[in-house]
């Protein structure tokens, strides 16, 4: 008597997202680790090993990668604006591709979430409006309150869009399969979106239509470099990270996502709820965003194996992004597939440091041995 094979959950099956082929629907979320080379913020051999170990993910989205020195908000985060940085990233994409993986770069400008010690010439960070964020950043001496920003002049905005374009060109030269724009967690794109951080009265402020303008212009400009099928954006509609607040997130993100769908980009990567906290932090209809967007929907935040499998089976998302679980489990895909125990991440080693808590977590085979 033959027994039918147990069907493989769709989470572990291939999917095409835009022009990028994924071998499974498990995405490694962007994770700030502050381990770029001190002095030039270029990726190094340790970073190559870290990403190589995790290449079984259907898609790796790199840690936030600043598009310029002005776009940097934390010490020892990698950049995408010098030849040394591009060479460092090329070694990473080569290693991931050699393991059969796919990898895209997350392009990042932090806006007001920065500190004068990180800015060119010790200048004030820039933002849509001169409003200080109630948050901290990480500098050489440890965590510190962010510095007060200055408001960007209207004629400065095209140059910042240009920095995203140059970073996208550099990412293409470094061999990336695409890019994700960091439009979440209270950084520059998100600051333009929200009425608490954006009090401008020009074409980039006021109405929702005006506040989404910067995000859409960056999307359009970067799409010309990679093609729409290799561009996505990360959003976090209700996450309060870095003092991100808006009076009507449903209307704001509903409008934004409809426009992103018209733009024809590959995916939206949605942090559901408060990052690292409750998925139901504030009432929000994520299904409405999924319905409004014709590309792929990558869901993120607090997913267990069971919830991830269930969400994909019920068409709640096309792929699921995991963050902290990937820090501690380089072979997360295999562990989830066989329902093996997971290593616990060591929080003390998240930011800065060396191989400890970075590339020394055991894989299943090593743990068994």
Q: Which residues are catalytic?
A: 187
List the Cα angle 37/182/288 in 5-degree steps: 155
Question: How many residues in the chain?
Answer: 369
Task: Using only the alpha carbons of the chain, give its radius of gyration.
Answer: 20
Distance of CA 364 to the CA centre of its chain: 27
Are residues 157 and 204 in contact, defined by beta-carbon separation less than 8 angstroms? yes
Of 226, 229, 220, 300, nearest in space to 21 by CA: 229
- DSSP per-residue letters across 85-98: HHHHHHHHHHHHHH
Give the separation between CA 126 and CA 152, rounded to whole angstroms. Answer: 6
Place of tokens 């191989």: 355
Looking only at Cα atoms, what is the longest distance across the chain?
76
Reduced to 3 states (helix: H, G, I; strand: E, B; else coil), residue 107 is strand
- 13, burial (CB in 10 Å: exposed 0-12, middle 13-18, buried 19+): middle
Q: Which two tokens stand for residue 20?
A: 């990028």
Long-range (24+ apart) CB contacts under 8 A made by 135-141 are 135/186, 135/241, 135/242, 135/243, 137/73, 137/74, 137/113, 138/34, 138/74, 138/75, 138/351, 138/352, 139/74, 139/75, 139/115, 140/75
Q: Which residues on neighbouring strands pair with residue 79, listed in sequence order? A: 66
Give the separation between CA 25 and CA 333, rounded to whole angstroms. Answer: 9
Are residues 193 and 211 in contact, defined by beta-carbon separation less than 8 angstroms? yes
């Amino acid at each position: 008597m033959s027994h039918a094979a147990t069907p493989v959950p769709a989470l572990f099956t291939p999917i095409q997202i835009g022009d990028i082929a994924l071998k499974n629907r498990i995405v490694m979320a962007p994770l700030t680790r502050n381990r770029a080379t001190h002095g030039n913020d270029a990726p190094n051999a340790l970073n190559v090993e870290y990403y190589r170990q995790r290449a079984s993910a259907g898609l790796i989205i790199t840690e936030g990668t600043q598009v310029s020195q002005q776009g940097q908000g934390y010490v020892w985060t990698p950049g995408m604006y010098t030849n040394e940085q591009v060479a460092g990233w090329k070694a990473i994409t080569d290693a991931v591709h050699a393991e059969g993986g796919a990898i895209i770069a997350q392009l990042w400008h932090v806006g007001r979430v920065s500190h004068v010690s990180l800015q060119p010439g010790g200048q004030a960070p820039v933002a849509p409006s001169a409003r200080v964020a109630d948050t901290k950043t990480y500098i050489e001496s440890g965590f510190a309150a962010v510095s007060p920003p200055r408001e960007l002049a209207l004629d400065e905005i095209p140059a910042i869009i240009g920095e995203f374009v140059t970073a996208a060109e550099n990412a293409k030269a470094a061999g990336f399969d695409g890019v994700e724009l960091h439009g979440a967690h209270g950084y520059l794109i998100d600051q333009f979106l929200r009425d608490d951080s954006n009090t401008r009265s020009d074409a980039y402020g006021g109405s929702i239509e005006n506040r989404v303008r910067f995000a859409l212009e960056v999307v359009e400009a970067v799409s010309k470099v990679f093609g729409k099928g290799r561009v996505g954006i990360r959003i976090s509609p209700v996450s309060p990270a870095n003092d991100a607040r808006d009076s009507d997130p449903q209307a704001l993100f509903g409008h934004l996502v409809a426009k992103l769908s018209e733009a024809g980009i590959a995916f939206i990567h949605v942090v559901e709820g408060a990052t690292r906290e409750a998925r139901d932090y504030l009432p929000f209809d994520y299904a409405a965003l999924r319905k409004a967007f014709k590309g792929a929907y990558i869901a993120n935040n607090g997913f267990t194996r069971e919830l991830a499998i269930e969400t994909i089976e019920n068409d709640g998302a096309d792929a699921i992004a995991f963050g902290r679980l990937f820090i501690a489990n380089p072979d997360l895909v295999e562990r989830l597939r066989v329902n093996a125990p997971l290593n616990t991440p060591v929080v003390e080693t998240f930011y800065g440091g060396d191989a400890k808590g970075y590339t020394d977590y055991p894989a299943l085979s090593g743990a068994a041995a």
